[in-house]
Amino acid sequence: MSGWNASDIPDQSGRGAVVTGANSGIGYVTARELARAGARVVLACRSAERGGAAVDRLRAEVPGADVEFGALDLGDLGSVREFAGTWTGRPLDLLVNNAGVMALPYGRTADGFETQFGVNHLGHFALTGLLLPSLLDAAAPRVVSVSSGLHALANIDIDDLNSEKQYRRWVAYGRSKTANLLFVHELARRAADAGLVAAAAHPGYAATSLQARGAQMEGRKGAERFYEVGNRVFAQPAETGALPTLHAATAPGVRSDDFYGPRVMMWRGAPARSWRASWTVNDVAGERLWAASERLTGVTYEGLKG
**What is the Cα–Cα distance from 306 to 304, expressed in whole angstroms?**
6
**What is the Cα–Cα distance from 287 to 167, expressed in whole angstroms?**
24
**What is the Cα–Cα distance from 256 to 136, expressed in whole angstroms?**
15
Look at residue 105 and tell me whether its pLDDT is greater than 90.
Answer: yes
Mean per-residue pLDDT over the chain, rounded: 90
Reduced to 3 states, what is the DSSP secondary structure of residue 43? strand
- For residues 80 and 229, the model is more confident at 80
Predicted confidence band of residue 223 (pLDDT cuts 50, 70, 90)? very low
Q: Strand 16-20's sheet: what is its strand order?
A: 67-71, 40-45, 16-20, 94-97, 142-146, 197-201, 259-264, 268-273
**What is the Cα–Cα distance from 86 to 91, expressed in whole angstroms?**
11
pTM: 0.91
Active-site residues, by number, are 173
Position 60: which residue type? A
- For residues 205 and 79, the model is more confident at 79
